[in-house]
A and B are shown apart, each in its own frame.
Chain A
Amino acid sequence: MELIKDVDSIRKLFPALDQKVNNKSLVYFDNGATAQKPLSVIELTDKMNSGVNGNIHRAVHELSARTTELYEGAREDIRKFINAKEREEIIFTPGTTASINLVANSFCQEFLKRGDAVIVTEAEHHSNIVPWQMACERIGAELRVLPVDNNGEWMMEKLAGILDDKVKIISVAHISNVLGIVNPVKELINAAHKKGVPVMIDGAQGVVHCKVDVQDLDCDFYAFSGHKLYGPTGIGILYGKREFLDRMPPWLGGGDMVGTVSFKKTTYADLPLKFEAGTPNFIGAAALGEAVRFVRSIDGDFLKTHEDELVNYLTNSLSSINGVKVFGTSANKISLFSFTVEGVHPTDLAMLLDKMGVALRSGLMCSEPLMTKFGVTGMLRASLAMYNTVSESEYFIDSLKRALKMLS
């Protein structure tokens, strides 16, 4: 199949991009929160909702067989997409948050004891802090924090000081949702594995902007959401190495996760169904498979060049505006820019830019500890996707200047 190599062809596949908001052509720069969906994902969802709908894994009838095939087919496509060794290592969940909660509950129940410790970094999304905090409180363990420097980069030199025998798991973001820096996860995984400590990666942003190969990374868990990866909401993935998943107890009980049930004793299903209790979001899962096929239909070199171009343009033009401070500067930057403007409240800017048709995120961005570190009560964030263009970026910069003039 011929791979897509230009942004115009990509844009044509996304109907949501072609609309007016507040009477202006939409410039959608809030992809870090959720991405728009390509036609293939929309069409498959429609097709299933309007006919190919039967509960999976349960019945012998034709519709059930077809949805089961779509569901398991998606699992296989997602396995290939992140190069997992086995399909049993791909668990469907409602999203990144649910995936992290699954591990924080099930893994910690088996492996975390009173007095042990878990490590996260200072630059995590609340979803990669709170589940661990809850597990630590429940068990009586300690949550340790790897700090970031003023550029937003992990202070790897501090790792040795907190990585001792008590640490049972480390959970970190592949790419921070605020800083947009590709973190040195491989280096961290190597250091952790030397101590025999497994590592979970929050890949909510990472899987969208990096080519992920879980075997090459050698991470023990990798979590991501469908809706940021051009798929539907309410579906996500937990990848886990079989050696851990096999030893972890089920977290939720119910249909599809059982072997045999009696009132005396229930045995559990094998992987991956052990962790997929109840009717899963099978339409979402099938559509996520379609989203992954969409991403694979885009030329990887094109994506890299295109993103570099956006990053360069925005880095230069934002830094040329008086009073703008960008948080997260690194050579490994993705097209995600959080910033403040001296003397201007981010909410004011977000409101004016919304009126100009530019959708941005403002506020704490679910990362309050990081905001506290940088001494701010909020930021503005422009996060771009593969379908965004340099000319949209130019419009955004012009609009930002115009809004700043109004507020000055």
Chain B
Amino acid sequence: MAPAIRALGWAGRFLSIITIAYLATSLYSFTNLMMGGGFALGEPALDFKAQELVISIPFSFNNTGFYDLTDANLTTLIRDQQGNILLRAETLMDSVPKGTRAETIHSISLDFTRILSGDLTRLLINDDKFSFNISIGLRYALALGFKLNLGGLSFPWGAPLSNFSLHPSDVSFNGTHYIQRVELSFENHSQFLPISGRMRVAVYNEMRQEVGNIWVDVIALPGTSFRQSVEMIVENPSLLTGTGQIHVYMESPLIKFGPVVIAYG
């Protein structure tokens, strides 16, 4: 039995030495790699395409260490204050063998059609605060997993149709139609999104019956207000109850959304 005991003892010792040496060299090499500029993030570039904002961040790994670098990834996540995910972008780099350099571009595409549709249309009328999270993950020497997460960064979101309101005045009759004169106003709190194009405003009473609708040409650059008095044809003045909903639709070469539902009365 003695040879078996000795063999097990040596196997255990050998494995311990291998483990310690493997851990020590991979940690040492990885630390040197990170401290010595092995990972670099470039200058972000902004590109405003039709209905989307594309942010491109170049990043590179220069593997001067002892082992291969695998499964490198850069992930960006943007959430609103309620925790809804507005954007998730992930860029993967399968392998960076030792002694080589690899670079790629991390593209973050902020699609306004997606943001300004569905239950997120409230972002058009309410200012918010977006939280930004960026993480870098990789595996070094096939065994050492590493993840750096930078979270809790926030930036304000300015609603492009902030304080949207319709102020109706008395209904008049021009001989053929009943005319409702309304004053339409909003403030564009956005830092970069211009509101320019044709806006359709449909007014409903609390019974969900359409009172009338109008098309208005609007232009409100970032940080400006819009105020205009318009006339809306009302087919049936008895439908005017003073309460209900306003449905706002927007059509422009840059952006298209709707309906944004706003209660009134």
Decide whether A and B are members of one complex.
no
B-contacting residues of A (Cβ < 8 Å)?
Answer: none
